[in-house]
Amino acid sequence: MFVTGFRFFVLVSVLIPLVGFAADGEPASSLEWETGAPVPEARTEGTATTDGRHVYFVGGFIDGERDERGRPPVGKNMYAYDPEADAWKDLGEIPRGVHHTGLVYLDGRLYMIGGYRENTFDPTDAVSIYDIESGQWSEGAPMPTPRGSIAIAVHDGRIHTIGGTVPDAEHAHEHDNPAAGDDNSVGTHEVYDPATDTWTRRAPMPTARNHHGAAVVDGRIHVLAGRVGREFEMTLHEIYDIEEDTWDTGPDLPTGRSGVAVVEGDGRVFVFGGETFSDPARTFDDAEVFDPATGQWEILPAMPTPRHGLGAAIIGDTVYVVSGGPQPGYAYSTANEFLTIGGSGQ
């Protein structure tokens, strides 16, 4: 997720939904998933990031007594996973209960942005900042447009928040590229600068959607998958050029789905899991990787546990995929599965 520099590449509009190759040249089919210590609390619709040493995991629904609307409670504590010790640590309560939030690391701090309040689907504009060294939370300037199910990415000291859903369809037309009909999805693209605690607007994503993911490679943000309205299996791949403030389209994701985890590692974009409510409703165990240098997709070994609403983070040459629902909707897991993919990952 954390990259520097800029280089030009040409996208090749050829999909390769075949077994690919790892960075060391070995067939990707020879890669094998392994299992780490389970997440302390079974959840779904949480999110994860890394500081290069630990995997941090926040938010999401937990398996508990449902309210009158049939909605479960949300998890209140943040956890950190140490791969070397294969152990989790409870870092205490986060400032607010939230699910479908964004979480990124930047310069010694974690930034938790947007999402839905408690167990509602009321989007929040909150920006909560966790200082890793002191263990203290503070609040940043609120996001101009409250949104949940956003895609989030870091580049050059700034945090990009892209797409998601706004509070209600009635006001969707006030935002960028709103979805048609009764869907609250937007293409709104707002950027937070922690150095000045200010927000700016950038060119909106062409296709409004939610439950998508994003990763940065060489000054371009790749936004993948997602849903809008009753379309749950989007293969869409839109690319934002940060320097030019323009959008383009890349090769489609081989397997359309929403509720995915997307991360960058070794200059490639990895996509894990997902769900659909189309007939039949199901979760996905798919793991796929896009190489911008070649413009090609490759298929990785399937995750041992199909799930959606999961978190993912890459440390070194290993990607950790945590928690998520093994069935569509309200289902929960403590899964912590990892795959050594080759390359630096940072």
For each of the chain's 346 residues, which pLDDT tens digit applies?
A: 333 332 323 333 333 333 444 444 444 557 999 999 999 999 999 999 999 999 999 999 999 999 999 999 999 999 999 999 999 999 999 999 999 999 999 999 999 999 999 999 999 999 999 999 999 999 999 999 999 999 999 999 999 999 999 998 777 878 888 887 668 999 999 999 999 999 999 999 999 999 999 999 999 999 999 999 999 999 999 999 999 999 999 999 999 999 999 999 999 999 999 999 998 999 999 999 999 999 999 999 999 999 999 999 999 999 999 999 999 999 999 999 999 997 544 4
pLDDT value of position 342: 77
Burial class (CB in 10 A: 0-12, 13-18, 19+), 310: buried
**Gap between the Cα atoms of 31 and 213, Å rounded:** 24
Q: For the chain, which domains are there?
A: 28-340 (2.120.10.80)
Q: Three-state SS string across 57-83, please?
A: EECCEECCCCCCCCCCCECCEEEEEEC
**Gap between the Cα atoms of 202 and 223, Å rounded:** 15
pLDDT value of position 7: 30
Q: Are 202 and 245 in contact (CB under 8 A)?
A: yes
Q: Are 290 and 16 in contact (CB under 8 A)?
A: no
pLDDT value of position 135: 98
Residue entry with tokens 């439950």? 211
pLDDT value of position 181: 65
pLDDT value of position 182: 67
